[in-house]
Amino acid sequence: LNLMIDSERGIPKHSLPSDNRQWLLVSRPIGIPQPSDYELVRGPIPALEDGTALIRNLYLSIDPAQRGWAASGTNYSTPVMLGTPMRALAVGVVVESRTPLLPPGSCHYGWFEWQDYCVVAPDRVLSRADPERAPLSAYAGVLGINGWTAYLALLRLGAPKASETVLVSTAAGAVGSLVGQMARNLGARTIGLTSSREKMDLCTGRFGYQFAIDYRSTDFAAKLAQTCFDGVDVYFDNTGGTILDMALRHMRVGGRVVQCGTAAVDRWDPPPTGLRNEREVLTRRLTWRGFVIFDHLSELSEVMTNLQRWLDAGKLVYDEDISAGIEAAPAALTGIYSGVNRGKRLIWIGDGR
Amino acid sequence: LNLMIDSERGIPKHSLPSDNRQWLLVSRPIGIPQPSDYELVRGPIPALEDGTALIRNLYLSIDPAQRGWAASGTNYSTPVMLGTPMRALAVGVVVESRTPLLPPGSCHYGWFEWQDYCVVAPDRVLSRADPERAPLSAYAGVLGINGWTAYLALLRLGAPKASETVLVSTAAGAVGSLVGQMARNLGARTIGLTSSREKMDLCTGRFGYQFAIDYRSTDFAAKLAQTCFDGVDVYFDNTGGTILDMALRHMRVGGRVVQCGTAAVDRWDPPPTGLRNEREVLTRRLTWRGFVIFDHLSELSEVMTNLQRWLDAGKLVYDEDISAGIEAAPAALTGIYSGVNRGKRLIWIGDGR
């Protein structure tokens, strides 16, 4: 295999490598996944079968949810088997095909894992990526699970009304930065929780938050109380932990809590403890719901239309933090839990080698 | 004032006492309210004003929620002021009236407090009590906030479908015993959590639960896991605490948790700790909602119709645990938190003295 791929924006024209590099999960992470939990191996490019296509990955996605996929504990999906390629979303291009659903040269976003190549059936594809409409990288972020999650979790579960107050944790992150803008687009008052002065400025300067608070500051509790003096209608939580406990105690009666992630809690085994929250649920008559985007894949057509509309109108901006080279993937995953990334974390692997 | 009241079923014919006894709240309870937090005083019968009626209380209601009303901490209502009559629901009869909305001889259920007499405006009344349709005591229980709560919290928030599994805590209690029967009437599989062998038998023998478990037994965790092996669709929680933590870990994906009470947690100040539950909310995509009946008073007409229909068809049974004499009220409240009552706890004070 040594094809030249027809050129489109973002699709490489050089000849393709003739072997396949893969990041295998070799040990079960305890808490935050570390690079030592993965091993980079080389092997042959897998063979096509009828009904499948060979995908050359271009952008590997780095997502906080990958910790849960790699862990052995309770999760919404079966754990990645040890010794197999790390489960991951990616954007890739079809280089060879035996299915009319995935024609050669077409680009897609799907379950392509942390590797150069994969052979996939069409059911592993989540969406078509059209490089004429948006940069290919966007299909792994604002037009991928980050944008879909922000849109559906906010609009369906949070359902903010104009002039309500929406509080968001990891407000400068790949999901939170979109939630803040969407809530503002819907007329809500927005407060972002983030982890540094620099990210606070991003929140208020770039992502449309009216207020931003550094949850690492020593007077966080006082600042939260001051900013949320009138109560919070929607809390969009990506962190869990003590930030969640504090936020719950500022909810208005009838408030909605969207549990979208738990990035602030390093380990769930053994089960961590914290404040009891059932009395807050009761007395504030909260509706606290969990959101996993993979329950909602049948709703994507509406979502893509509206995301594209906001993007075209300049009402949705996004940042990407892209490294080159497959070697960078595991360390990039470790880094997102400490918040070192600046925008959606991606690994570009479309260069020749 | 020394009226003879026209006789109806349950309404006394003897002459009425000429003074008013009141249980005042004299200290702020720490944890479970104790009799020493209350003081019984005598005073004159209050005077009528235009637009009000004088009510002679017949049944004083003892409700777990009274702990929250007497406490100083976060709750859904303002605390009872020290030195004033204990906030309570009661069933009483109008003995004198200056409002056409509350005619003499009519019976009502409302905010009449722990006392012999009260002067009330019509907005303190929750419902009319018709002794021709049901015993007057029923209007403070199965046809009062217990029945309303069971019905609305189960049907609106829990929304069990036929053949789903509904788990209920304090399953033999004034609310739980009704929830179990209603869930069964709707075709669900029902599991009750209660605190003794005797109450387990009540649950399965009288209240229609398919299974009952004693949460005080040493092998509770194993029995819960065994009985809930296929997962729980609706958890109707009246206890909070470790029972809640354990139940959450048996929820099915998409399960609903109805937070109706927190009777198992003695104190909320200082805030107690327990297992972190946000990961369960997320991975199981739970919907966890708080329910307070007083948000739903506009929906009572539908509720009363359906409760009466079930009662008339013999599809809803209920037990009452009635003591005589106003002196019994505070100790009765203390007792319900340790589960010594057998059915809805009421104090009959309609006798002469």
Per-residue pLDDT, averaged over B132-161, amounts to 97
How many other CB atoms are there within 10 angstroms of residue B26's CB atom? Answer: 14
**Pick among A281, A284, A291 to test the B interface (most B CBs inside 10 A):** A281
Facing A295 at nearest CB: one of B75, B259, B285: B285
pLDDT confidence of B74, banded at 50, 70, 90?
low
The pLDDT tens digits of the residues spanning A12-54 come to 666 778 899 999 999 999 889 999 999 999 999 999 999 999 9
State the pLDDT at residue A2: 38
Q: What is the mean pLDDT of residues B212-231?
A: 97
pLDDT at A269: 84
CB B203 within 8 A of CB B180: yes
- Is pLDDT of B2 > 50? no
Name the residue among A76, A276, A288 with its Cβ closest to that of B271. A276
Angle between helical axes of B176-185 and B145-152 (0-180°, round to 10): 40
Q: Residue B341 — very low, low, confident or very high, per pLDDT cuts 50/70/90?
A: confident
Of B265, B271, B287, the CB nearest to A287: B287
Chains A–B, number of C-beta pairs less than 8 Å apart: 125
Judge whether B278 is closer than 8 Å to chain A, CB to CB. Answer: yes
Q: Is B288 on the interface with A (CB under 8 A)?
A: yes
Complex ipTM, two decimals?
A: 0.91
Whether B268 shows a pLDDT value over 70: the answer reads yes
* B253/A278 Cβ within 8 A: no
Q: How far is B295 from chain A (nearest CA, A)?
A: 9
More confident residue, B47 or B8: B47
Distance of alpha carbon B140 from its chain centroid, rounded? 8
- Is the CB of B276 less than 8 angstroms away from the CB of A241? yes
At residue B182, the 3 state secondary structure works out as helix
Indicate the range of A52-56, A152-156, A348-352, B14-18 predicted with least confidence: B14-18
Q: Is the pLDDT of residue A138 over 70?
A: yes
B262 → chain A, closest CA residue: A279
Determine contact, residues A56/A16, Cβ cutoff 8 Å.
yes
Per-residue confidence (pLDDT) for residue A4, from 0 to 100: 46
Mean of pLDDT values over B318-340: 93
Q: What is the pLDDT of residue B1?
A: 40
Mean pLDDT of the A255-259 span: 98
pLDDT at res. A14? 67
Report the pLDDT value the prediction gives residue A10, as an integer from 0 to 100. Answer: 63
Interface test with B, best of A77, A282, A284, A289 (most B CBs within 10 A): A282
Place B9 in a pLDDT band, splitting at 50, 70 and 90.
Answer: low
- pLDDT recorded at residue A134: 94
Confidence check: pLDDT of B8 > 70: no
The mean pLDDT of A150-176, rounded to a whole number, is 97
Instruction: Enumerate the β-bridge partners of residue B120.
Output: B53
- What pLDDT is stored for residue B10 in this prediction? 63
Q: What is the pLDDT of residue B3?
A: 43
| B14 has a pLDDT exceeding 80 | no
pLDDT digits (tens, 9 = 90+) for A278-317: 999 999 999 999 999 999 999 999 999 999 999 999 999 9
Q: Does A217 touch chain B (CB under 8 A)?
A: no
Residue B68 has pLDDT above 70, yes or no: yes
Nearest-CB residue to B282 (from A262, A281, A286):
A262
Say whether pLDDT at B94 is over 50. yes
Q: What integer pLDDT is reported at residue B340 of this predicted model?
A: 83
Per-residue pLDDT at B12 exceeds 50: yes
User: What's the number of CA atoms in the CB half-sphere (13 Å) around residue A46?
Assistant: 18
List pLDDT tens digits, range A53-81. 999 999 999 999 999 899 876 667 889 99
Instruction: Name the more confident of B68 and A258.
Output: A258
Percentage above 90 pLDDT, chain B: 85
By Cβ distance, the residue of B253, B276, B289 closest to A271 is B276
Task: Specify the pLDDT at position A258.
Answer: 98
Residue B13 has a pLDDT of 66
Q: In one letter, which amino acid is B186?
A: L
What is residue B15's predicted lDDT score, i.e. its pLDDT? 73
CA distances for B163 relative to A124, B91, B185, B227, B350, angstroms: 33, 38, 11, 15, 45
Q: Is the predicted pLDDT of residue A11 greater than 90, yes or no?
A: no
* The predicted structure's pLDDT at residue A27: 96
Q: What average pLDDT does this structure show over B21-36? A: 94
B232-254 b/e with 16+ CB inside 10 Å = b? bbbbbbbbbbbbbbbbbbbbbee
Whether the pLDDT of residue B6 is over 70: the answer is no
* pLDDT attached to residue A37: 97
Q: Is the pLDDT of residue B279 over 90?
A: yes
Looking at residue A3, what is its pLDDT?
43
Query: Residue B124 has what DSSP assignment?
Result: G
Task: Report the residue of B281, B286, B291, B292 to disrupt the A interface, i.e. the one with the largest count of A CBs within 10 Å.
Answer: B281
Mean pLDDT score across all residues of chain B:
93
